[in-house]
Amino acid sequence: MRKTCLDMIHRLALTDSRVVYIGSDPSAGTLKQMAKDVPDRFIIEGIAEANLIGMAAGMAMDGLMPFVHTIATFLTRRCLEQVSIDVCLHDLPVRLVGNGGGLVYAPLGPTHTAIDDLALMSALPGMAVVACADADEMTRLMQASLSWPGPLYIRLGKGGDPVISKPGNGFEIGRAIPMREGSDVLLVSTGVMTGRALAAAEMLAADGIGCAVLHAHTVKPFDAAQTVALAQGKRLVASVEEHSRIGGLGAMVLDALAQAGPVPPTLRLALPDSFVHQYGSQDALLERFGLQPAGIAASIAQAIRKR
């Protein structure tokens, strides 16, 4: 997914003179060919994120479309005020590419685990927030990003995730994609958790529980209408995300349901409201917090049995 996103920046830059890449301490050789093809629109700024955002905002004011790329925690926490005031206040078409969303960098500890990025970015006025399911969907998002008028935060996964998206479903920022039908449960997921949600739905089907899956690749603006429509008649509405249970996808789902009327039974599957102090792989920590398919299925089945 990361490679696809960066390759797409290069491809877009070759056809759209607005596109600029600004990197903050990327790995050696990142977009080496882009640096040769369009050297005037390939910038490595260094580890100074507040300045990075100010640069991007200035470029956007002059008609460019900067894609700012660095580790998600540094791009959201370190320069939150600059993103808010420099970019969002002026509604500028800056694209923030957050590398390693969620628990991707769990081996490096709490400083690198982006468990609050969706909440931080969603709270900013005018900021759109997207987390793709796989590399193929990332290609469609990057193409769509050219016509998005305001700020955009793109959460990148680790890469190598199974391709579950389908070209026939299309891609539109702000429109969720139904991935599976089911009569008992609506499971709303985002990012790479959608693949795990689909696997959990298969497990639930074996237990006689029909689980619909809605892939909300856009956390903001959230597709409330489709969520509410698919929730009708369900015994349970569940959300699953690789993010703190505070302020992320689950909050969007609950808000949509509450605005529509009486809230059906709900379940929020997410990381706890705490720093992740454990070190290990992304998969190992997802397992620890019950966010692998078996854990998701078990939590939903337990919630259904209580109804």
List the pLDDT tens digit at each of the 307 positions of the chain: 999 999 999 999 999 999 999 998 788 889 999 999 999 999 998 889 999 999 999 999 999 999 999 999 999 999 999 999 999 999 999 999 999 999 999 999 999 999 999 999 999 999 999 999 999 999 999 999 999 999 999 999 988 889 999 999 999 999 999 999 999 999 999 999 999 999 999 999 999 999 999 999 999 999 999 999 999 999 999 999 999 999 999 999 999 999 998 889 999 999 999 999 999 999 999 999 999 999 999 999 999 988 7
Quote the CA–CA distance of 81 and 305 in Å, as a whole number.
Answer: 45
By the 8 A CB rule, do 176 and 201 touch? Answer: no
**What is d(CA 179, CA 193) in angstroms, rounded to the nearest whole number?**
13
Cα 255 to chain centroid distance, Å, stands at 18
Q: Side chain identity at 170, as an amino acid letter?
A: G
| pLDDT given for residue 261 in this prediction | 86
Q: What are phi and psi of 22, to 5 degrees?
A: -125, 115
- Residue 16 CB neighbours (<10 A): 10
Measured CA to CA, the distance from residue 294 to residue 285 in angstroms comes to 14
Are 223 and 175 within 8 A, CB to CB?
yes
pLDDT of residue 160: 86
Q: What confidence score (pLDDT) does residue 101 get?
A: 95
Asked if 237 contacts 262 with a C-beta cutoff of 8 angstroms, the reply is: no
3-class secondary structure per residue, the chain: CHHHHHHHHHHHHHHCCCEEEEECCCCCCCCHHHHHHCHHHEEECCCCHHHHHHHHHHHHHCCCEEEEEEEHHHHHCCCHHHHHHHHHCCCCCCEEEEECCECCCHHHCCCCCECCHHHHHHCCCCCEEEECCCHHHHHHHHHHHCCCCCCEEEECCCCCCCCCCCHHHCCCCCCCEEEECCCCEEEEECCCHHHHHHHHHHHHHHCCCCEEEEECCEEECCCHHHHHHHHCCCCEEEEEEEEECCCCHHHHHHHHHHHHCCCCCEEEEEECCCCCCCCCCHHHHHHHCCCCHHHHHHHHHHHHHHC
pLDDT value at residue 138: 97
C-alpha to C-alpha distance for 304 and 239, rounded to whole angstroms: 14
d(CA 64, CA 62): 6
Only one residue has tokens 């070190």, namely 279
Going by C-alpha positions, the residue among 47, 93, 86 that lies closest to residue 67 is 93
* Amino acid identity for residue 188 in this structure: V
Q: Contact 83/96 with Cβ under 8 angstroms?
A: yes
112's CB contacts (< 8 A; 6+ apart) are: 71, 73, 100, 105, 106
pLDDT, position 159: 80
